[in-house]
Structure 1
Amino acid sequence: MPNLASVEIDTPANKGETKIRRSYRAPDRLLERPAEGINTMADIFLKARERFPKRAIMGWRDVVRTHDENKEITKKVEGKEVKQTKTWQYYELSNYKYLTYDEFEERIQHASSGLVNLGLSKDTRFNIYATTAINWQNMAHACFRQSIPFCTAYETLGEEGLQHSLIEPQVVGVFTNAELLPTLANVIRKADTVKYVIYDGKPEDKHLDTIRKVLDERQGKLLTIEHLWAEGKANPAESHLPTRDDVACIMYTSGSTGAPKGVILTHGNLVASIAAVELHAGDLLSPTDTFLAYLPLAHILEFIVECTMTYMGITMGYGKVKTLTQASVRNCDGDIKAFKPSIMIGVPAVWELIRKGILSKVNAGGSFKQKLFNGALTIKKNKIPLLTSVVDNVVFKAVREQTGGRLRFALCGGAALSRETQEFLNNALVLLLQGYGLTESCGMTAILHPEFYSYGPSGGCVPAIEIKLCDVPDAGYFATNNPPQGEVLIRGPSVTKGYFNRDDVNKESFQDGWFLTGDVGQWNPDGTLSIIDRKKNLVKLSGGEYIAIERLESVYKSSNLVSNICVHAHSDAKQPMAIIFPREDNLVAAAQKIGASGDLEELCKNRDVAKMVMDDVNVVGKKAGFKNLEMLQTVLLVHEELAMTAAQKLSRKDIVNKYEDEIKKLYM
Structure 2
Amino acid sequence: MNKAARPKGYFGKGTVEVAPPERPGEGGIRRLEVEKDALVTEPVPGVSTIPDIISYAAQEHGQKRALGWRDVTNIHEEKKQTEKVVDGRETTETKTWKYFELSDYHYMDYSQFRDAISEIARALVDFGIGSDDVFDIFAQTRCSQLATISNACALISTTITTAYETLGESGLAHSLNEPKCVAIFTNSEHLPTVLKVLPTCPQYFDPRQIQSIRKTNSTSYAAAASGGQTSSIRAVHIDKLRSIGRDLPLSILTSRLPTPDTRACIMYTSGSTGDPKGVILTHGNLVAAVAAYVVELCAVFVGIACGYARPKTLTDDNMRNCVGDLRALRPNVMFGVPAVWETIRKAIVSQVDSGGSLVKNLFNLVIGVKKFAGGRVPVLDWAIDIVVLSRIKETVGGDIHFAVNGGAGISRDTQEFFNLAVMPLTQGYGLTETCGMGAFLPPDLLSPSTYGTAGVPGPSLEIKLIDCPEMGYFSNPEAQDGSGFSDSVGGVSTSNSSHLPQGEICLRGTSLTKGYFNRPDLNADEEIFTKNGWFRTGDIGQWNVDGTLSVIDRKKNLVKLKTGEYIAIERLETIYGSSEFVSNICIYATSTMRQPLAIIIPREKNLRNAVESSSSMDLSQICADKAARGLVLYDLTQLAKKNGFARMEVPSDVILTAQEWTSKNGLVTAAGKVNRAKIEDEFRKEIEKYQK
TM-score normalised by the chain length of structure 1: 0.91
For 1:158, the equivalent position in structure 2 comes to 168
Q: Distance in 2 between matches of 1:541 and 1:625?
A: 19
Q: Which residue in the other structure is 1:56 paired with?
A: 65
Q: Is the 8 A contact 1:128 1:176 kept in 2?
A: yes
Aligned counterparts of 1:307 and 1:111: Cα–Cα separation in 2: 19
Q: Give 1:323 deviation, angstroms.
A: 0.8
C-alpha distance in structure 2 between counterparts of 1:571 and 1:14, whole Å = 33
Say if 2:473 is the partner of 1:477: yes
SS class of match (2:459): coil
Q: Which residue of the partner structure matches residue 295 of structure 1?
A: none
CA contact (8 A) 1:452 1:526 kept: no
What secondary structure is seen at the aligned counterpart in 1 of 2:279?
Answer: strand
- State the secondary structure of the residue aligned to 1:161: helix
> Is 1:452 aligned with 2:445?
yes
Establish whether residue 667 from structure 1 lines up as the match of residue 686 from structure 2: no
Alpha carbons 1:418, 1:554 under 8 Å: kept: yes
Measure, in 2, the Cα distance between the counterparts of 1:42 and 1:106. Answer: 12
1: distance between equivalents of 2:14 and 2:653? Answer: 41
- Among 340, 348, 353, the alignment partner of 2:338 is 348
Q: What residue number does 1:572 align with?
A: 592
Partner of 1:440: 433
Residue in 1 that maps onto 2:421: 428
Q: CA deviation at 1:19?
A: 0.4
Paired letter, 1:437: G
Question: Is the contact made by 2:598 and 2:653 (CA closer than 8 Å) also made in structure 1?
Answer: yes
Equivalent residue in structure 2 for 1:197, among 187, 195, 211: 211
1:247 to 259, 263, 288: 263
1:50 Cα offset (Å): 0.8
Q: Give, in whole Å, the separation in 1 of the partners of 2:347 and 2:658.
A: 20
Say which of 403, 407, 417 aligns to 1:414: 407
- Residues 144 and 657 (structure 1 numbering): CA distance in 2 closer, same or farther, change over 3 Å? same
Q: Could you report, residue by residue, the CA deviation over 1:353-383 in whole angstroms, capped at 9, with x for unpaired residues?
A: 1111222222233333222222222222223
Other structure's SS at 1:510 match: coil
The answer to whether the Cα contact below 8 Å between 1:597 and 1:603 also exists between their aligned partners in 2 is no
Residue 337 of structure 1: SS of its match in structure 2? helix
Q: Which residue of 2 aligns with 1:44?
A: 53
Q: Residues 301-450 of structure 1: matches in 2 within 5 Å? A: 304-383=294-373, 387-395=379-387, 396-450=389-443
Helix, strand or coil for the counterpart of 1:91? strand
Q: Give 3-state SS (helix, strand or coil) of 1:496's partner.
A: coil
Helix, strand or coil at the partner of 2:245? helix
Where does 1:187-226 land on structure 2 (aligned, <5 Å)? 187-192=197-202, 193-194=204-205, 195-201=209-215, 204-205=218-219, 209=223, 212-217=227-232, 220-226=233-239
* 2:451 partner letter: Y
- Whether 2:179 is the aligned partner of 1:178: answer no
Q: Which residue of 1 aligns with 2:582?
A: 562
Task: Please give the alpha-carbon distance, in whole angstroms, between the structure 2 residues aligned to 1:630 and 1:483.
Answer: 22
CA–CA distance in structure 1, aligned partners of residues 22 and 54 of structure 2: 40
- Of 322-331 and 201-210, more deviation after overlay is shown by 201-210
Amino acid in the other structure paired with 1:274? V
Query: Does the CA-based 8 Å contact 1:23-1:463 persist in structure 2?
Result: yes
Contact 2:313 2:325 (8 Å CA) reproduced: yes
Q: Secondary structure at the match of 1:579?
A: strand
Q: SS at the partner of 2:515?
A: coil
Point out the more displaced range, 39-48 or 82-91.
Answer: 82-91
Is 1:526 aligned to residue 546 of structure 2? yes
Match of 1:261 among 277, 282, 292: 277
Question: In 2, Cα distance between the equivalents of 1:403 and 1:269?
Answer: 33
AA matched with 2:507: I
Structure 1 counterpart of 2:459, from 426, 451, 463? 463
Shift of 1:205: 2.7
Give the aligned partner of residue 21 of structure 1: 30
Aligned to 2:494: none
Over 3 Å counting, the alpha-carbon distance change for 1:138 and 1:554 in structure 2 is same
Q: What whole-Å deviation, never above 9, does each CA across 1:437-460 have from its counterpart, x for those lacking one?
A: 000011111111234322111001
User: 2-side partners of 1:123 and 1:77: how far apart?
Assistant: 48
Q: CA RMSD in A?
A: 2.4
Query: What is the CA deviation profile of residues 531-563 of structure 1, one whole-angstrom value per residue up to 9, with x for unaligned ones?
Result: 011100011111111110000000000111110
Indicate the larger mover: 550-559 or 421-430: 421-430
Residue 612 (structure 1) shift: 2.2
Deviations 1:83-124 (A, max 9, x none): 986543322222111111121122112211121122111110
SS of aligned partner of 1:578: strand
Q: Distance in 1 between matches of 2:400 and 2:469?
A: 44
Classify 1:524/1:234 alpha carbon distance in 2 versus 1 (closer, same or farther; 3 Å): same
More divergent stretch after superposition (206-215 vs 117-126)? 206-215
Q: Deviations over 1:449-501 (max 9, x none)?
A: 23432211100111110000001111111112210100001100000120001
Distance 1:14 1:82, change over 3 A: closer
Q: Aligned residue for 1:649?
A: 673
In 2, the alpha carbon distance for the partners of 1:557 and 1:358 equals 16
| Structure 2 CA distance for partners of 1:480 and 1:654, relative to 1, 3 Å | same
**What letter is aligned with 1:574?**
R
Alignment coverage as a number of residue pairs: 639
Q: How far apart, CA to CA, are the structure 2 residues paired with 1:477 and 1:471? A: 6
Mark the runs of 5 or more structure 1 residues left unpaired by the alignment.
Answer: 278-303
Instruction: Mark the CA change 1:118 to 1:584 in structure 2 (over 3 Å): closer, same or farther.
Output: same
* Residue aligned with 1:189, SS: helix
User: Separation in 1 of the partners of 2:68 and 2:570?
Assistant: 36
Q: 2: CA distance between counterparts of 1:320 and 1:189?
A: 29
Q: Secondary structure at the match of 1:123?
A: coil
| Aligned match of 2:487 | none
Q: Name the aligned partner's letter for residue 447 of structure 1.
A: F
Per the TM alignment, residue 215 of structure 1 is displaced from its structure 2 partner at its CA by 4.2
Task: Compare 14-23 and 228-237 and name the one that shifted more.
Answer: 228-237
Structure-2 change in CA distance of 1:401 and 1:500 (3 Å): same
Further displaced range: 328-337 or 396-405: 396-405
Judge conservation of contact 2:90–2:620 (CA < 8 Å) in 1. Answer: no
Q: What secondary structure, in the 3-state scheme, does the structure 2 residue paired with 1:185 have?
A: helix
Overall identity of the aligned pairs, in %:
45
- Pick one of 109, 115, 131 that aligns with 2:118: 109
Residue pair 1:73, 1:86 contacting (<8 A) in 2 also: yes
Relative to 1, partners in 2 of residues 1:254 and 1:386: Cα closer, same or farther, differing over 3 Å?
A: closer
Aligned position for 1:581: 601
What is the rounded CA distance, in whole Å, between the counterparts of 2:91 and 2:464 in structure 1? 61
Distance 2:328 2:439 in 1: 31
TM-score (norm 2): 0.88
1:142 aligns with 2:155: no
**Shift of residue 156 of structure 1?**
1.3
Q: Output the CA distance in 2 between the equivalents of 1:335 and 1:86.
A: 25
Q: 8 Å contact 2:669–2:675 — kept in the other structure?
A: yes
Q: Contact 2:85–2:659 at 8 Å: present in 1 too? A: no
Q: Give the direction of change, closer, same or farther, for the CA distance of 1:399–1:657 in structure 2 (3 Å limit).
A: same
- Partner deviation per Cα, 1:601-659 (whole Å, 9 max, x = no partner): 22222333222222222212221211111000122111112222222211112211222
Q: Is the 8 A contact 1:437 1:443 kept in 2?
A: yes
Which shifted more, 513-522 or 223-232? 223-232
How far is the alpha carbon of 1:506 from its aligned partner? 1.7
1:503 corresponds in structure 2 to 520
2-side partners of 1:82 and 1:273: how far apart? 50
Query: What is the correspondence of 1:600-611 to structure 2 with a 5 Å cutoff?
Result: 600-611=619-630
Query: Does residue 539 in structure 1 map to residue 544 in structure 2?
Result: no
Shift of 1:36: 1.3
8 Å CA contact 2:601, 2:656 repeated in 1 = yes
